[in-house]
């Protein structure tokens, strides 16, 4: 990231299509220049609407969007200096790759020599030098998507918006494109606002992720912060895999609480969203934070019965019945000796209370 200057700003933005229901509610979001920020959330959460308002295809019902300090709600899309990449590539099928890339430059009345230079530069950026005369129909899906990325970058936009750009690609291609887009971003430092519902993609590519649900940003954090320290149950469930226990707080000190589970039994947890005895809570624990045959020092230590064992190459996924939760998941690295992992075995499982987050009861 080039610096921390606030470059894109959503200030108290609401959006309603029917005058009644707000699909985006009181959005305040600052994006730094050169940042790669991802808007992540389920469909209908408001993330694409935010992108469309920034692009100029939708207008905020209330509030204002600023680009480099200037309000842009009354500026038409083609005058905002914003590049866009969509899921369906949106290339002109009757134009060559060169003509597709030259189009946004011609619209801006750029000279032929300058167009040639910019098209060459953009194609080499996405490793497609030499493809100028191909038609989109002669390219693979991944190549078409790279042309779409090059076309969004060719006129040196202030911001590039990407709406589910890898959704149509197969898994391997998708993963290699994630790294490619990340590397392009790192090498040219353009501000990128990316929309996806794929959490793995968001974690791989972003400097920060804004998790949307029900028209609001639930959490805005770096990928590691979001995964390790979700602030509420929605974020904990939406990002990565999670073991959850529902219960009631028995007592709470500053960094530890005791929770009586609805299924019986008690555990110790980190009181993130609970303050007092009697509160309902959902405790969230990442599968990789629980260990077999735990260290004596771990303050949660319980017996669980193995219900299912699935081999995943680099790790084995074990489902247990533990404290009345028969969906308790454990991930055991396959480098470790296969510690009694057999169907029906009873094993000791432990974790630190610091890793079990007592969140809102949802």
- pLDDT tens digit sequence for 27-82: 999 999 999 999 999 988 999 999 999 999 999 999 999 999 999 999 999 889 89
Fold category of 241-359 in CATH: OB fold (Dihydrolipoamide Acetyltransferase, E2P) (2.40.50)
Is residue 94 over pLDDT 70? yes
Task: Tell me what the pLDDT averaged over the chain comes to.
Answer: 91
Fold category of 6-233 in CATH: Rossmann fold (3.40.50)
% of the chain at pLDDT higher than 90: 67
- pTM beyond 0.75: the answer is yes
- pLDDT tens digit sequence for 137-195: 999 888 998 899 999 999 889 899 999 988 878 888 888 889 989 998 998 889 999 99
pLDDT band of 4, cuts 50, 70, 90 = low
| 3-state secondary structure string across the chain | CCCCCEEEEEEEEEEECCCCCEEEEEEEEEEECCCEEEEECCCCCCHHHHHHHHHCCCCCCEEEEEECCEECCCCCHHHCCEEEECCCCCCCCCCCHHHHHHHHHHHCCCCHHHHHHHHHHHHHHCCCCCCCCCCHHHCCHHHHHHHHHHHHHCCCCCEEEEECCCCCCCHHHHHHHHHHHHHHHHHHCCEEEEEECCHHHHHHHCCEEEEEECCEEEEEECHHHHHHCCCCHHHHHHCCCCEEEEEEEEEECCCCEEEEECCCCEEEEEECCCCCCCCEEEEEECHHHCEECCCCCCCEEEEEEEEEEEECCCEEEEEEEECCEEEEEEEEECCCCCCCCCCCCEEEEEECHHHCEEECCC
Portions of the chain given CATH number 2.40.50.100 = 241-359
Portions of the chain given CATH number 3.40.50.300 = 6-233
Is residue 360 over pLDDT 50? yes
- pLDDT tens digit sequence for 292-317: 888 778 899 999 999 999 988 888 89
């Amino acid at each position: 990231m080039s610096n921390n200057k606030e470059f894109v700003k959503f200030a108290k933005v609401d959006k309603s299509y029917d005058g009644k229901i707000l699909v985006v509610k009181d959005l305040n979001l600052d994006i730094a220049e050169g940042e790669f920020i991802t808007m992540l959330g389920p469909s209908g959460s408001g993330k694409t609407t935010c992108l469309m308002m920034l692009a100029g295809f939708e207008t905020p019902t209330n509030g204002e969007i600023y680009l480099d300090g200037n309000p842009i709600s009354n500026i038409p899309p083609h005058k905002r200096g914003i590049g866009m990449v969509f899921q369906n590539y949106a290339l002109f099928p009757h134009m060559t790759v060169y003509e597709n890339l030259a189009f946004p430059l011609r619209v801006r009345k750029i000279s032929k020599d300058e167009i040639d230079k910019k098209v060459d530069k953009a194609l080499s950026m996405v490793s497609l030098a030499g493809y100028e005369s191909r038609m989109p129909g002669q390219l693979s899906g991944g190549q078409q998507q790279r042309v779409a990325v090059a076309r969004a970058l060719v006129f040196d936009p202030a911001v590039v918006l990407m709406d589910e750009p890898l959704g149509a690609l197969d898994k391997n291609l998708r993963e290699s494109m994630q790294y490619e887009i990340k590397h392009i971003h790192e090498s040219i430092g353009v501000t990128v606002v990316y929309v996806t519902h794929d959490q793995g993609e968001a974690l791989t590519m972003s400097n920060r992720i804004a998790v949307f649900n029900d028209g609001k940003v639930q959490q805005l954090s770096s990928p590691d912060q979001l995964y390790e320290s979700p602030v509420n149950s929605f974020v904990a469930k939406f990002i990565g895999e999670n073991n959850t226990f529902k219960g009631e707080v028995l007592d709470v000190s500053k960094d530890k609480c005791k929770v009586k589970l609805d299924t019986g039994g008690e555990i110790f947890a980190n009181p993130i969203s609970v303050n007092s005895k009697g509160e309902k809570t959902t405790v969230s624990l990442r599968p990789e934070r629980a260990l077999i045959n735990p260290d004596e020092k771990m303050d949660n230590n319980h017996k669980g019965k193995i219900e299912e064992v699935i081999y995943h190459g680099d790790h084995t996924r074990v489902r247990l019945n533990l404290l009345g939760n028969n969906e308790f998941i454990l991930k055991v690295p396959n480098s470790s000796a296969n510690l009694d992992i057999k169907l029906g075995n009873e094993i000791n499982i432990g974790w630190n209370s610091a890793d079990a987050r007592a969140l809102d009861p949802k």
